């Protein structure tokens, strides 16, 4: 849930402990309006607000437990926070000092469409975090030709449509995105519209019909695809269900939302109205997919199978027929006398609908977990979590797979950055991604490994992959386009790896293996150290600094002296409480910062006696650092990404964060790496790339200037922002422009508008007068050869 404080009220913090407390690092939702220092007992602080709507009580270290910073105390009493605010159910992006750059290696395929462009045949597949384009001119051998990213992922609940040379996709909290795919090898994003939380889509004529979880049915005029304009909307309650699908025929929209079928009259797109609602028999309301042909609507129902509805009289839809006990229906497509039905572990069903009142299952194919489906002619295109399949249905009773694309990503392992490349271990493979332009990352190399890559390190021209039961695999990446394995060593289970000089240190189970990799093609085991006690079930991670290796476990930190690699021994140990798991670590001088179920600060100045100094009630999956900035992924509750200032070890402070929002990237991201202020997060939505802008002196867009001539206030802003500027009289040609984080121009004033004024008041709308979504924008003033750019944060 996202909210904005707007009303006059109070925030009250109370604690039963009679000791000093400090609340720091508050997320933007609160820190925009208040700064709380040292509340003792019960106190109150005024909040600038009005129009009180709700009062919420959060108890016992609830949603805002990350606000409380205190030395560890197992007897910590509860705090409670009472805050007045206005609720908004918008799922949009929430961020501070971090913006999205690009993504690739999308995970888990779902929706798929087929299209012919310039007599060539293509599939467009919606993944979590990207859109994949496949060439299917040869149906037996689909070839990837392009992949373009979008922020986050939408977990089976998005939609896409291709009309002429334009691709329309719904991206959840980021709304509708439009691409020009006249050249499918180079899709170009040309437009977008934030509808709220866009799930399903159908395109007909000059209109796009969006099934939106927040807004219901949203109708956009796309006569100019680069600039969609909202012209109509009909609120339809979603009941929190993230699924929506839309089909259009004549003047009616058939909308599957909140598990029901809604029939909407769209003869006048500016004034749609509800005609009727249909729901299958019984209490189940779980329609996921909808298709229409003639006077019948065909539905995939997650609980009740395949249904046919007669809509010859749209005001009184009636059930024509149905088939149950054929899996959990996720998608449906219709072509001629047959419907094609995708139903998770059931696979796909080929259903004869020549008589809609007497449908029958004619063919079935077990393809694993079937998610999306599209039928065209004698071929059906189906998606699973790991594959995209081409299926011959010329014999409807015996469908046969004739082609497949198998290189989708899956559960991720680890990530490392070296030069202009990101190295990613995913499933049983190593992927190499060119990130020289982080806005447009693309995969350049691929290498199979025998088992899932759990840990990864890159040194010189080699990638070292800890590959579970298949040990340590060493891959030559001197040519990133053609990586190949040059050596391996079986050491039992390999979980994580770090490489220093000629040695690789690999952990697995309760063992630390030291391996000589001076000759990568012939690695050999130098020593194995068994970590005791037996109560430590597993080692989570391994780090190397100087002559010491640091091992993280679920209950403590082990420090191993490896000055003699042939005879390592434990020199220090720190017990970190029964319930405190340790997952990742960075070392800055004598300070160790560990993230897990809590954020720990440890004094490492004496390796034989590490000292616990402090804890902050943050949790996360992984941490890395650039200078004194700690990048943390998977941090509860806002995840997936936080940036923390570590310059003062005793007062870590949150400088930025990026939150995809509910229903997007539903599981926490896992691993993180960096290249300066560019942050790479490996998530269940693929590889997502971000830019941190909160450090002093970071250059954003444009040219450095000796003095600023732009003055922007208030910033962040809610309704209006004033942009003041100074233009020398001799320089008459000037322009003021606003760009979004993707670099798209959204608002512009030319010299005629600014020539006789020294300020502009911007209301957060684009050139067409549409309200822009909350987020980061860049204001750029151009005066002949001079330009200056400043960041603006728009709140809604």
DSSP secondary structure of 547-602: TEEEEEESSEEEEEE-SSTTS-EEEEEEE--TT--EEEEEEETTEEEEEESSEEEE
* CB contact at 8 A, 100 and 92: no
Q: What is the DSSP letter of 65?
A: G
According to DSSP, the β-strands at 622-626 and 611-616 are unpaired
Q: What is the CA radius of gyration of the chain?
A: 28
Triad 26, 28, 33: Cα angle to 5°? 90
Angle CA(353)–CA(205)–CA(222) in degrees, nearest 5? 130
CB 210 within 8 A of CB 216: no
Closest CA to 42 of 79, 20, 14, 11: 14
CA angle at 530 for the pair 526 and 536, rounded to the nearest 5°: 145
Phi/psi at 18 (nearest 5 deg)? -90, 70
CA 590/CA 117 separation, integer angstroms? 60
Cis omega (within 30 of 0) for bond into 640: yes
pLDDT of residue 267: 96
Residue 109, strand partner residues: 127
Tell me: the pLDDT tens digits for 725-765? 766 554 467 788 898 866 678 898 877 667 666 788 899 99
178 closest CA partner among 165, 162, 170, 189: 189
Strand positions, DSSP E, 511-555: 511-516, 524-530, 539-545, 548-553
Identify the pLDDT of residue 302.
83
pLDDT of 284 reads 60
In this prediction the pTM is 0.73
Using CA atoms, how far apart are residues 490 and 469, in angstroms rounded to an integer? 8
Residues 698 and 690: beta-carbon distance below 8 Å? no
pLDDT at position 59, please?
27
Domains, the chain, with CATH or none: 2-88 (no CATH), 106-405 (2.130.10.10), 412-692 (2.130.10.10), 710-794 (2.60.40.4070)
643 touches 97 (CB < 8 A): yes
Q: What is the 3-state secondary structure (H, E, C) of 255-307?
A: EEECCEEEEEECCCCCCCEEEEEECCCCCCCCEEEEEEECCEEEEEECCCEEE
Q: How far is the C-alpha of 173 from the C-alpha of 157, rounded, in Å?
A: 11
The 8 Å CB, 24+ separation contacts for 701-705 are: 701/739, 701/743, 701/778, 701/780, 701/789, 702/780, 702/787, 702/788, 702/789, 703/786, 703/787, 703/788, 705/786, 705/788
Which ranges of the chain have pLDDT less than 50?
Answer: 1-92, 637-638, 663-664, 666, 699-707, 730-731
Complete edge-to-edge strand list for the sheet that includes strand 710-713: 710-713, 721-725, 759-762
Tokens of 23: 């609340």
Q: In whole angstroms, what is the distance from residue 368 CA to residue 327 CA?
A: 12
Q: What are residue 382's DSSP bridge partners?
A: 373, 389
Compute the distance between CA of residue 495 and CA of residue 343 in angstroms, rounded to an integer.
35
What burial class does residue 145 get, using C-beta atoms within 10 Å of its C-beta: 0-12 exposed, 13-18 middle, 19+ buried? middle
CB distance 351 to 327 below 8 Å:
no
Q: Return d(Cα 29, Cα 452) in angstroms, integer.
A: 39
Among the listed residues 188, 229, 167, the one whose alpha carbon sits nearest the alpha carbon of residue 743: 188
**Please, are residues 349 and 360 in contact by the beta-carbon 8 Å criterion?**
no
Q: Is 56 helix (H, G, I), strand (E, B) or coil?
A: strand
Query: Hey, what are 683's tokens?
Result: 């998530």
Strand, coil or helix: 792: strand
Query: What is the distance between the alpha carbons of residues 699 and 676, in angstroms, rounded to a whole number?
Result: 12
**pLDDT at position 239:** 67
Helix (H/G/I), strand (E/B), else coil: 67: helix
Q: Which residue has the tokens 């009616």?
A: 252
Cα–chain-centroid distance for residue 482? 29
Q: Which helix (H) or strand (E) holds 751?
A: helix 751-754
Instruction: Let me know how many helices (H) and strands (E) the chain has, helices first.
Output: 2, 71
Measured CA to CA, the distance from residue 255 to residue 253 in angstroms comes to 6
Q: Is 181:193 a contact under the CB 8 Å cutoff?
A: no
């Amino acid at each position: 849930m996202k909210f904005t404080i707007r009303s006059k009220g109070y925030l009250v913090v109370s604690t039963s402990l009679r000791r000093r407390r400090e609340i720091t690092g508050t997320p933007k939702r609160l820190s925009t309006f208040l700064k709380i220092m040292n509340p003792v007992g019960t106190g109150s602080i005024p909040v600038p607000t009005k129009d009180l709507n709700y009062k919420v009580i959060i108890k016992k270290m609830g949603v805002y437990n990350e606000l409380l910073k205190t030395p560890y105390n197992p007897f910590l009493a509860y705090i409670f926070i009472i805050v007045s605010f206005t609720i908004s159910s918008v799922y949009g992006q929430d961020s501070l000092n971090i913006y999205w750059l690009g993504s690739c290696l999308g995970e888990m395929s779902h929706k798929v469409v087929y299209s012919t462009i310039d007599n060539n045949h293509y599939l467009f597949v919606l993944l979590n975090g990207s859109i994949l384009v496949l060439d299917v001119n040869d149906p037996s051998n689909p070839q990837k030709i392009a992949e373009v990213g979008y922020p986050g992922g939408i977990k089976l609940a998005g939609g896409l449509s291709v009309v002429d040379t334009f691709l329309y996709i719904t991206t959840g909290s980021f709304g509708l995105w439009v691409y020009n795919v006249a050249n499918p090898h180079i899709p170009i994003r040309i437009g977008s519209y934030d509808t709220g939380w866009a799930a399903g889509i159908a395109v007909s004529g000059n209109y796009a019909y969006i099934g939106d979880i927040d807004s219901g049915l949203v109708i956009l005029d796309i006569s100019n695809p680069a600039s969609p304009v909202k012209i109509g909307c009909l609120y339809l309650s979603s009941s929190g269900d993230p699924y929506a699908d839309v089909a259009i025929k004549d003047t009616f929209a058939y909308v599957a939302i909140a598990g029901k079928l809604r029939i909407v009259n769209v003869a006048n797109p500016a004034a749609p109205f509800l005609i009727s609602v249909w729901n299958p028999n019984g209490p189940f309301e779980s329609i996921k997919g909808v298709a229409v042909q003639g006077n019948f609507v065909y539905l995939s129902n997650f609980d009740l199978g395949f249904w046919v509805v007669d809509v010859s009289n749209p005001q009184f839809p009636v059930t024509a027929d149905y088939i149950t006990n054929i899996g959990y229906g996720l998608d449906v497509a219709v072509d001629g006398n047959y419907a094609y039905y995708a139903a998770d572990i059931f696979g796909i069903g080929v259903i004869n609908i020549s008589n809609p009142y007497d449908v029958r299952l004619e063919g079935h194919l077990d393809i694993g977990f079937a998610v999306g489906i599209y039928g065209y002619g004698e071929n059906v295109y189906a998606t699973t979590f790991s594959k995209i399949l081409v299926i011959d249905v010329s014999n409807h009773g015996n469908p046969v797979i004739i082609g497949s694309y198998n290189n989708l990503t899956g559960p991720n392992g680890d990530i490392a950055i070296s030069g202009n490349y990101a190295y990613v271990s995913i499933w049983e493979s190593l992927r190499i991604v060119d990130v020289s332009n982080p806005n447009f990352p693309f995969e350049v190399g691929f290498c199979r490994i025998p088992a899932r890559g759990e840990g990864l390190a890159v040194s010189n021209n080699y990638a070292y992959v800890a590959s579970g039961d298949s040990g340590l695999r060493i891959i030559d990446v001197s040519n990133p386009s053609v990586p190949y394995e040059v050596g391996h060593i079986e050491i039992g289970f390999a979980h994580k790896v770090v490489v220093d000089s000629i040695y690789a240190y690999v952990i697995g189970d309760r063992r630390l293996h030291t391996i000589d990799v001076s000759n990568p093609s012939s690695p050999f085991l130098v020593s194995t150290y068994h970590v005791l006690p037996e109560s430590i079930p597993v080692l989570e991670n391994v780090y190397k600094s100087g002559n010491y290796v640091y091992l993280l476990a679920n209950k403590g930190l082990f420090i191993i002296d490896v000055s003699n690699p042939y005879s390592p021994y434990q020199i220090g140990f720190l017990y970190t409480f029964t319930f405190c798991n340790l997952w990742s670590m960075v070392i800055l001088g004598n300070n160790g910062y560990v993230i897990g179920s809590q954020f720990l600060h440890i004094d490492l100045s004496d390796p034989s006696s590490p000292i616990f100094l402090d804890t902050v009630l943050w949790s996360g999956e992984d941490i890395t650092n650039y200078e004194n900035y700690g990048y943390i992924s998977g941090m509860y509750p806002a995840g997936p990404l936080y940036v923390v200032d570590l310059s003062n070890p005793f007062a870590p402070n949150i400088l930025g964060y990026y939150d995809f929002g509910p229903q997007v990237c539903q599981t926490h991201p896992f691993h993180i790496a960096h290249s300066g202020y560019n942050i790479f997060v490996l998530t269940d939505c693929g590889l997502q790339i971000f830019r941190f802008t909160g450090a002093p002196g970071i250059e954003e867009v444009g040219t450095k200037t000796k003095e600023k001539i732009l003055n922007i206030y208030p910033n962040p802003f809610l309704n209006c922002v004033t942009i003041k500027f100074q233009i020398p009289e001799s320089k008459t040609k000037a322009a003021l422009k606003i760009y979004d984080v993707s670099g798209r121009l959204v608002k512009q004033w030319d010299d005629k508008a600014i020539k006789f004024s020294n300020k502009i008041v911007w209301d957060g709308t684009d050139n067409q007068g549409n309200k822009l979504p909350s987020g980061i924008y860049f204001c750029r003033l151009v005066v002949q050869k001079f330009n200056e750019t400043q960041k603006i944060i728009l709140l809604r």
